[in-house]
């Protein structure tokens, strides 16, 4: 089942709402495709303008720079994942099943998507996040960005997952540490599996199920 979802983005991330025009929507769509294919380092608004057959200045009317553009994309993605977790765990009392759902959402091992947002294949968006998300906070601007609440969607999904861990074991002292670790490792292990397989225990199979198995074991062993 698919549901339409409207997500509100921090207004400090953009100059003009890209959802308000066809050009803005195309900026999001093509920008995501270009960043996923070539990385944020090689992405420029000039290249995007050429791809869209528009002017570079027209893109700057929507976003001040490519760092804020990336943060806009990530903000939408983390809120989307959090809504998926809320929707799919609603009325589920079995904590073991809730853990499965959370991991399936983080690994995008699910077909129940909530529609909305950038008009691109959500797996392309997922691949972008795997490769680029950590760059958004491993930055000299991290404190300024944090003061502007640009990382709030990432914190929110981490806190929600930590809440699940607290629900399972209220005595566990490190629920936030575990949640942030699972969030990070769900991306890193997938990246290692595809690009640096010798860093994993499943270099040949490259199966998402193996990543899920490891993360679930990490969670359950920690919460015992």
**Quick check: is 2 in a domain?**
no
**Quick check: is 42 in a domain?**
yes
Question: Which of 65-74, 138-147, 196-205 is least confident?
Answer: 196-205
Q: pLDDT exceeding 70 applies to what percent of the chain? A: 94
> How does residue 100 score in pLDDT terms, banded at 50, 70 and 90?
very high
Name every residue whose Cβ is closer than 8 Å to that of residue 160 and which is 6 or more positions away in sequence: 82, 85, 86
- Distance, in Å, from the CA atom of 163 to the CA atom of 193, rounded to the nearest integer, reads 29
Tens of pLDDT, residue by residue over 190-205, are 999 999 999 999 888 7
> How does residue 107 score in pLDDT terms, banded at 50, 70 and 90?
very high
Please tell me the predicted confidence (pLDDT) of residue 4: 61
**Quick check: is 199 in a domain?**
yes
**Quick check: is 64 in a domain?**
yes
Give 60's Cβ-side CA count (13 Å radius): 7
CATH number at residue 131: 1.10.357.10
When divided into structural domains, the chain yields a total of 1
Which residues constitute the domain of residue 151?
7-223
State if pTM tops 0.75.
yes
Please tell me the predicted confidence (pLDDT) of residue 46: 98
**Quick check: is 111 in a domain?**
yes
* Mean pLDDT, the chain, whole residue set: 93
> How does residue 114 score in pLDDT terms, banded at 50, 70 and 90?
low
Whose CA is closest to 75, among 114, 129, 144? 129
- Distance, in Å, from the CA atom of 14 to the CA atom of 224, rounded to the nearest integer, reads 44
- Distance, in Å, from the CA atom of 146 to the CA atom of 156, rounded to the nearest integer, reads 13
């Amino acid at each position: 089942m698919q549901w339409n979802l409207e997500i509100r983005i921090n207004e400090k991330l953009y100059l003009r709402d890209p959802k308000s025009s066809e050009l803005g929507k195309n900026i999001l769509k093509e920008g995501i495709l270009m960043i996923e294919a070539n990385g944020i380092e090689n992405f420029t608004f000039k290249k995007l303008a050429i791809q869209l057959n528009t002017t570079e200045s027209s893109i700057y009317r929507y976003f001040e720079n490519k760092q804020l553009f990336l943060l806009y994309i990530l903000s939408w993605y983390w809120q989307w994942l959090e809504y998926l977790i809320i929707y799919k765990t609603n009325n589920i009392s079995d904590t073991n099943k809730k853990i499965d759902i959370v991991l399936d959402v983080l690994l995008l091992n699910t077909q129940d998507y909530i529609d909305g947002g950038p008009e691109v294949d959500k797996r392309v968006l997922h691949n972008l996040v795997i490769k680029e998300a950590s760059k958004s906070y491993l930055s000299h601007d991290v404190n300024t960005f944090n003061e502007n609440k640009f990382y709030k969607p990432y914190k929110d999904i981490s806190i929600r997952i930590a809440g699940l861990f607290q629900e399972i074991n209220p005595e566990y002292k490190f629920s936030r540490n575990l949640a942030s670790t699972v969030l990070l490792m769900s991306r890193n292990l997938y990246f290692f599996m595809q690009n640096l397989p010798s860093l994993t225990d499943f270099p040949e199979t490259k199966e998402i199920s193996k990543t899920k198995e490891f993360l679930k074991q990490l969670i359950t062993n920690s919460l015992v």
